[in-house]
Structure 1
Amino acid sequence: MDELTQLRELRADVPAPDRAALAPGRQRLTEAMAGGGRARRTRADWRIASLGAAAAITAAALLGTQLLDTPGPRGTAPATIASNLDLSGPAETLNRAADFLEGATAPPEPRDNQWIYTSVVIGNPALKAGSEQMGEIRYEPDSWSRYGNAAAEKDQSDDDRSTREIYRATAGLPEDPAALLAEVRRLYPADTSGQSRPESKEEQTFRGLSVLLESYPLPPAAVARIYRAMATLPGVGITGHLVKDAAGREAIAVTRDEKGTHERREILLSPYDYTYMGLRFVVTENYETKMPEGMQGPAQKFTAGDITISEARTAAAVVDAKGEKP
């Protein structure tokens, strides 16, 4: 099923919205970009992402908005790490990253009453063919979530876990890559909502790995196990060169094509210390979509190499109070 069909089904009986009708959805999207009060959205996030380039239509056309591109800091590379960087393939890159992280000192687990501060940059869709850009959506880059969130952990209706749950689940991941990937699939089941195309086992696994890596903090040894397991997942690749994240920083791109969406998901890692930096969705082939039924506007043209979704985490820290910054 293509993205246009999916969008039509999602709003089959809904009249064309006016600004008042769009306000609640715009607010929810703004809150999602800011991170909300939970560790990271999972299934809801995936439904948007699995539409591939249709997410750009949703942001630019359905909501009538445009994401703001905020400049971010650039990293400074320790020469010893940069000179040892190997981008020749997933096994070479990810196993080298794992070797590095296994030697890192693990900080203590946060206390239940502490908060996790993160700051993100959301990038504008970069479309070579040119798409009409309308309005703007403002988002708050800084967010805080309580590490010990008992209320969130009590809610077992979905797989949107608290930061504490993800930290402990990640710390307990098995050494064996196959067993680790199976546990990730258990933590993040396949999306059977019927609102998006069925995802393959490999797509489900890569999605789950992405969600785990987005969380902060994580034990370095556990991240090392994730990288070794990720290197064994069919379809995972490395771009072979550094890319730019939404903040303009150089990053390693760990990739996997999302079949049926004309796009690939990219998990971005630091080339200096192999920590998580953000994510991107990149168009893999030229294609064109029209506006969903009941809406008017120009066709959306996408060219291989277009970036439809880009998010960079520019800061993360454990703090003692909501509103505190490191």
Structure 2
Amino acid sequence: MDEMTRLRELRADAPVPGRADLAPGRRRLTDAIAGRGASRTSAVRAGLGRRLRDWRIASLGAVVAVTAAALVITQVVDTSPPEETAPATVVGDLDLSGPAAVLNRAADHLERQKVPPEPRPDQWIYTRVVDGASENAEAVKELQEAGVDVPPGFSPDRWVPYEDTFAENDTSDTDYRSARESYRIATGLPEAPGALLAELRRIFPTGSGPDGPPEAEDEHSFRVLSVLLESYPIPPDALARIYRAMATVKGVEVTDHLIRDASGREVIAITRDRDEGDTRHEILIDPVGYGYAGERSVVTRTHTVRGDSGAPDVVQKRGDVLMDLARTHAAVVDAKGRKP
């Protein structure tokens, strides 16, 4: 069972943070500025809303940097499989021996599912996301008392229009796509894993300059897969192709037991260590229906992050969770504010 701990993190002078680590706060602030809704994401693009997240934080200034990169509320990961999370108790003969076993099994299941119709242009995408960090009000209060400018909290419930012409005409963020754009990107992806990954890397290019250093091909592939997976809805046949392609990315692994996400659910963790740095990115998948369930960023090596401007140094311990997002609900609804 995971044990929650609280840790304050101020890392303004640290090396360029991983893109996934910076994404949630950036999306949160951008939504508020643009008036796209009051809830958080990676409440993601449509499902954790659409990921206006490019992991790029510089253009949003110091407040976002403090929110997304500087504040890290950690959770210690139990690296041994607890008895109550044994896969057999959740989904029968679930095979967690390797990423190909899990992801190809998931794809087989999804290919047997009926493909629902595409949402109408006037419909909305509702999502609810549990943020393991922002839920920690005590830690936020501590930061405020220390003089850190922390933006107000956001509701976990979020609604975005399926057809969002404002977002579709905004080319300032190469990772941001409306729900409709993401749906059509997913349905148009080729069958062959190599071609699928190449197409996603083209659609969601890697960073350069102030947007962060360019990524190597496999790290780029894993990131763009996570960008698209946060979208909702993705038809089951398209999701199957995405999972088969993910299984071919070098460095991708699967945790050999189910883990607990920010909401307490047991989920599959598909992981990849970042090429540079001391963290791994985890994509979380529901072990029964194989839908996207969230994501995490976990410290892989104990190290010290040097403080800046008088801020204390902070030790990040192996197993600390720097980002912990769980999407607990996602649905197409007929009006903003409506829940399924």
TM bin (shorter chain): 0.7 to 0.9
Amino acid in the other structure paired with 1:232 = T
| Separation of aligned partners in 1, 2:283 and 2:224 | 12
Instruction: Tell me how far 1:265 sits from its aligned partner.
Output: 0.2
Amino acid in the other structure paired with 1:302 = Q
RMSD of aligned residue pairs (Cα, Å) = 3.5
**Aligned residues of 1:190 and 1:201 also touching (Cα < 8 A):** no
Instruction: Tell me how far 1:26 sits from its aligned partner.
Output: 11
Instruction: Tell me how far 1:241 sits from its aligned partner.
Output: 0.8
Instruction: Tell me how far 1:200 sits from its aligned partner.
Output: 1.3
TM-score, length-normalised on structure 1?
Answer: 0.78
Q: Does 1:308 align with 2:308?
A: no
SS, match of residue 301 in structure 2: coil
**Aligned residues of 2:45 and 2:230 also touching (Cα < 8 A):** no
Task: Find the partner of 2:292 among 263, 266, 276.
Answer: 276
| Separation of aligned partners in 2, 1:134 and 1:61 | 13
Task: Find the partner of 2:215 among 199, 204, 214.
Answer: 199
Deviations 1:4-50 (CA, angstroms, capped at 9, x unpaired): 34469xxxxxxxxxxxxxxx8996698653748874224x44236xx
**Aligned residues of 2:40 and 2:156 also touching (Cα < 8 A):** no
Instruction: Tell me how far 1:289 sits from its aligned partner.
Output: 0.8
Unaligned residue ranges in structure 2 (runs of 5+) = 1-10, 18-28, 58-63, 75-86, 145-149
1:33/1:92 Cα in 2 relative to 1: closer, same or farther (>3 Å)? Answer: same
Alignment of 1:1-326 (within 5 A): 4-6=13-15, 32-33=40-41, 35=43, 39-42=49-52, 44-47=53-56, 58-59=66-67, 62=70, 82-124=91-133, 134-135=143-144, 138-159=153-174, 160-292=176-308, 294=309, 296-326=310-340
Deviations 1:189-214 (CA, angstroms, capped at 9, x unpaired): 01114342332111111111001111
* Residues paired across the two proteins, number: 288
SS, match of residue 206 in structure 2: coil
- Sequence identity percentage: 48
The runs of at least 4 aligned residues of structure 1 exceeding 3 Å deviation read 2-8, 24-39, 56-63, 78-81
| Separation of aligned partners in 2, 1:272 and 1:213 | 17
1:314/1:260 Cα in 2 relative to 1: closer, same or farther (>3 Å)? Answer: same
Unaligned residue ranges in structure 1 (runs of 5+) = 9-23, 49-55, 68-77
**Aligned residues of 2:107 and 2:241 also touching (Cα < 8 A):** yes
